[in-house]
Homo-oligomer: A and B are copies of this chain.
Amino acid sequence: MTASGKHPGGIAFLLAQLGAHAANRFAERTADLGLAPSEVGLLRMIATQPGRSQRSLAEELGVVASRVTALVDPLERSGLVERRRSTNDRRNYELHLTDRGMQVLGRVREVAMAHEAELCEGLDERQRDELATLLRAVAEHQGLTPGVHPGYRA
């Protein structure tokens, strides 16, 4: 995407600007691990709820089933995720992280902490608490689900 609009100087613009910056920097960091941001998200979702089906991921992501196929394929090829046919209902898969997948996710967590630290560098402890509190208040008022990044969809 190119320059978005939004009123410069206002809170809406600052949020969009900083949000894009944060997303870009995080993507750069995970690229060093060979992962796109969407792949990191998928690894996290599978780790949180091992055995979940592709269909359930599609629903949570608000994405079509074929998209999940395309998302899981490279993760399986690179040996981070395993597809196991469900024995109860052999139509669907149970998705699991491999040992290597869990290792990589550990490194993602380190990267995320470094990312957080970098982004907050300019603020002291008190200001960070203040900022987090205000951001959480806005997110809640806007009806955003904690921990769920909406992505950028029209």
Contact = CB atoms under 8 A, between A and B. Distances in A.
Task: Give the number of times this chain occurs in the complex, counting copies.
Answer: 2
A151 B6 contact: no
Contacts of A37: 1, 4-5
Contacts of A7: 109, 112-113, 115-116
Q: Taking each of A18, A60, A120, which has the highest tally of chain B beta carbons within 10 Å of its own beta carbon?
A: A18
Interface stretch (A83-91, A93-101, A137-145): A137-145
Given A6-B115, A41-B3, A149-B3, A26 B31 contact: no
Contact of A152 (B23, B61, B128, B136): B23
Interface string A3-38: 111111111111111111111101110110000011
Contacts of A40: 4-5
Interface residues of A, number: 77
A78 interface: no
A72 to B, nearest CB: 12
A2 B41 contact: yes
Contact of A13 (B5, B9, B42, B149): B149
Given A7-B115, A24-B153, 7 more contacts: A10-B112, A10-B116, A15-B15, A15-B22, A21-B144, A122-B138, A127-B137
Q: What are the 8 A-B residue pairs with the smallest beta carbon separation, nearest first?
A: A19-B19, A122-B141, A5-B40, A3-B41, A8-B147, A14-B135, A4-B37, A7-B112
